[in-house]
Amino acid sequence: MTTRLHRRAVLALGLGAVAPLVVPRPGRARSGPDSFAPLARQVVPAVVNIAAVRDVPATAQRGDARGQLEEMARRFGQTRRPQAAQRATSLGSGFIIESSGITVTNNHVVEGAREISAIMNNGRTLPAQLLGRDDKTDIAVLKLKTEEKLPFVRWGDSDRIDVGDWVLAVGNPFGLGGTVTAGIVSARGRDLHAGPYDDFLQLDAPINQGNSGGPSFNMDGEVVGVNTAIYSPTGGSVGIGFAIPSNLARQIVDELVRNGRIERGWIGVNIQDITPEIANGLGLKGDVDGVIIAAVETSSPAARAGLRQGDIIVAVNGRRIDQVRDVPRTIAALRPGTDVMLTLLRRGQEVAVPVTTGRLPER
């Protein structure tokens, strides 16, 4: 049975058993708080419900079968009276990061919207302007239109949150309005194959449809994740939700606020993991770290730097490469025109090759 993961990703799950191991960190509480109420009172005023109004084509409103009849009529020369598009409103969540009204949400919440508004926790509705969006990380930034100072929350450091740490999720599930749920970080570094830069936190705090774009907080009231997707056979929470880590989201948000779009570094290589068959074909012995260059794009930065098919990338700027997704993530995080040092394994010898990044083409 195919299960449903919002944003169209699918996971296969396996079960196993391990012996429990508890190693408390110095200075960290060994149990949860007596109540999340003080934290909720602190952060909820800065979390908003996002309403995005879109035009829905008439054929889409009538369903696939009617749409096919319309297409058949068109192909056979029959004409029908055009049907006007209608409006549909989708709901999501967001959070304010500056008192001026700068607000973060998911791109899929507002993509294609002709009107966007934010409903504050006190029920007040504010119109919103889209400042920029990035479909590769599913982040969008809005500016709420108001002259008053708004409540806001601060970013936290997602690199410092551990598996097992408490998180508080706030959002607008099923359009019900501001809702608070609590749980822990279940895993880090999840790749849902939803985009090239997937690096999700997995949470067990209940997250449902409408929570998209809402924040997850650490116990200091700092945003450590942007809730984005759930794994579910029904569309409701089964305790497996995913959030974009704050350190990635913050970087994207800052650039969208500055430029309205994201410029990513690019070198122009096609890479793949080193399978045992590839290793044998290259005469490599034992386990080999890194990824192999399968092709170099013509006139790319990699081609100008002399990279070759069959080179093995083992490090980028000294950072070791363990899997294919490490390379595009590391390169994309650099601005175009940045000098980067690649450590390669070429014909059994380790060599260092400098490359100047280009701008990732729009595709």
Stronger pLDDT, 253 or 199, i.e. the higher one: 253
Question: Does any domain span residue 308?
Answer: yes
Mean pLDDT value of segment 142-153: 96
**pLDDT (0 to 100) of residue 343:** 94
Please, are residues 356 and 337 in contact by the beta-carbon 8 Å criterion? yes
Residue 55 confidence class, pLDDT cut points 50, 70, 90: confident
pLDDT tens digits, residue range 296-352?
999 999 999 999 999 999 999 989 988 888 898 889 889 899 999 999 988 888 999
All residues at 6 or more sequence positions from 42 whose CB lies less than 8 Å from its CB, including other chains: 221
Q: Which of 127, 144, 161 is the last residue of a domain?
A: 144
Question: Does any domain span residue 175?
Answer: no
| Residue from 359, 250, 244, 353 nearest 308 by CA | 353
Mean pLDDT value of segment 266-295: 84
Judged against a pLDDT cut of 50, whether residue 72 lies above it is answered with: no
Residue 83 confidence class, pLDDT cut points 50, 70, 90: low
**pLDDT (0 to 100) of residue 138:** 93
* Domain around 111: 46-73+85-144
Separation in Å, CA 161 to CA 26, 65, 91, 216, 337:
14, 49, 29, 12, 33
Q: Helices then strands (H, E): number in the chain?
A: 8, 22
**pLDDT (0 to 100) of residue 280:** 78
Q: Which of 144, 162, 177 is the last residue of a domain?
A: 144
Residue 58 confidence class, pLDDT cut points 50, 70, 90: low
Stronger pLDDT, 289 or 273, i.e. the higher one: 273
Least confident of 9-13, 56-60, 211-215, 356-360: 9-13
**pLDDT (0 to 100) of residue 25:** 45
**pLDDT (0 to 100) of residue 6:** 45
Residue 87 confidence class, pLDDT cut points 50, 70, 90: confident
CATH assignment at residue 118? 2.40.10.10
Stronger pLDDT, 33 or 129, i.e. the higher one: 129
Domain count for the chain: 2
Q: Which of 144, 176, 195 is the last residue of a domain?
A: 144
Q: Which residues are catalytic?
A: 108, 138, 212
Question: Does any domain span residue 331?
Answer: yes
Question: Does any domain span residue 246?
Answer: no
CATH assignment at residue 277? 2.30.42.10
Question: Does any domain span residue 94?
Answer: yes
Chain mean pLDDT for the chain = 83
90/51 Cα distance (integer angstroms) = 6
- The angle formed by the CA atoms of residues 99, 105 and 108, to the nearest 5 degrees, is 155
